[in-house]
Structure 1
């Protein structure tokens, strides 16, 4: 494996160096100097490979930590409980209805507030995925259904908060734009 990596990286670099200075071949680096050059290149390649693996592992660890923290958060659990009390999802999704945000019933008001909390949380997650701060594949495998169900549950609330008019125009298109991007991205995966 190491020989293949050295050849894949070192040979083109050697040709590149010779193309920059053709006298390298004629004035000559002897065999030991070429070996030293390739050893340095191999060390650099090894360091770059190790750094890439470390970055990937760090990203996955950060993703797992974020996912666990949401589940351990008392605020998140409280909002999830209030959301499920107002809009149960066990036997089917009960969506937020038009004007529920003006309801006088405390359970519905708390449910709408909880839905906004959840939308804001998953907007944060979508921004992190979109910017490459989270491992999308790991989150998609864990949260795809949750995100899609939240979108279905809170569709009317999202339209209201974005200022969606009857003609389809949106007054505030940046509201939940990343969450909606994530829903579309994960919908048919």
Structure 2
């Protein structure tokens, strides 16, 4: 094999990691729910690409010094000593890598701190507590009147809403506006979704189910787009599936409807693995390891109900 052909082959090997990383982020990390791309994901992508560049330069210098890339070589000659320039480039990459890593950690911590602050303000707000108390009384009264089996089926109809006192109507719209604010904050990446979901999922679900007829009524008399963000977030949290049980490996939630999607993902992964050699599988393994090391979860959270019962 001639040196020119080897150059093309090595160039292909250089490009594979970048294509693999970008494809992974586009397929697995892209989320159209968010109106703005999450800064943490953007910085993570840049970090990985910089790391690949750093490693490839080291490999180039160590084993393939006599080869060129885009007509640029790093081999020292009598007139040029390129090692110093190469070390400078590596130092610059390392410095930028450290700066981006620190920025990413700061962004994540800032968003989480802001989310905690919003949650604490809502809990300590006298206005919020007063409105919640009124809404709770409305729910209890409706439960007695409607006599339904499940609390989730209790709903405030438009007729009942119109018959409420002004203070009670104000409490309903206050809660809906607050939940809409939370949904907008999550979609714009100003609030941490996982943190807010842990605290607000049951509250959002209960209030959305209770006031859904009121939402439809207000859309008719005010605006058809009112509380759209709240509805989108509710559907997202309801459709998300939980992870598998760590003991029996069965889905904690029903995943029969996702089998076609899994088959498509497997076919796509096989295709990308063929195109990139083993790079695609290696990249998936690395990213899964990163997520496992950086995401906290207790063992009890990953057990299905049957395994929890057996464990006790």
For normalisation by structure 2, the TM-score amounts to 0.50
Once the two structures are superposed, the pairs formed by residues 26-105 of structure 1 within 5 Å of their partners are: 28-88=80-140, 92-93=151-152, 94-103=154-163
Deviations 1:24-70 (A, max 9, x none): 54664433332222112101111111111111111111111111111
**1:8 corresponds to which residue?**
52
Q: Is the Cα–Cα contact under 8 Å of residues 74 and 86 in structure 2 kept in the other structure?
A: no
SS at match of 2:176: helix
Q: Distance in 1 between matches of 2:207 and 2:217?
A: 15
Match of 1:119 among 164, 176, 181: 176
Q: CA deviation at 1:157?
A: 0.4
Q: Is the Cα–Cα contact under 8 Å of residues 96 and 112 in structure 1 kept in the other structure?
A: no
Q: Structure 2 vs 1, CA of residues 5 and 123 (structure 1 numbering), >3 Å: closer, same or farther?
A: closer
**1:179 corresponds to which residue?**
230
Aligned-residue RMSD, C-alpha: 2.9
Match of 2:186 among 129, 136, 153: 129
Q: Is the Cα–Cα contact under 8 Å of residues 60 and 134 in structure 1 kept in the other structure?
A: yes
**2:72 corresponds to which residue?**
22
Q: Distance in 1 between matches of 2:239 and 2:196?
A: 15
Deviations 1:101-158 (A, max 9, x none): 321x53xx43332111101001011111111111111111211111111111101100
Q: Structure 2 vs 1, CA of residues 24 and 67 (structure 1 numbering), >3 Å: closer, same or farther?
A: same
Q: Structure 2 vs 1, CA of residues 160 and 58 (structure 1 numbering), >3 Å: closer, same or farther?
A: same
For normalisation by structure 1, the TM-score amounts to 0.79
Q: Distance in 1 between matches of 2:50 and 2:204?
A: 44
Q: Is the Cα–Cα contact under 8 Å of residues 75 and 82 in structure 2 kept in the other structure?
A: no
Q: Distance in 2 between matches of 1:7 and 1:160?
A: 54
Point out where structure 1 has 5 or more consecutive residues left out of the alignment: 165-170
**1:167 corresponds to which residue?**
none
Q: Structure 2 vs 1, CA of residues 157 and 20 (structure 1 numbering), >3 Å: closer, same or farther?
A: same
Q: Distance in 2 between matches of 1:146 and 1:119?
A: 11
Q: Structure 2 vs 1, CA of residues 24 and 30 (structure 1 numbering), >3 Å: closer, same or farther?
A: closer
Point out where structure 2 has 5 or more consecutive residues left out of the alignment: 1-47, 61-67, 144-149, 241-312
Q: Distance in 2 between matches of 1:179 and 1:8?
A: 40
Match of 2:207 among 122, 128, 150: 150
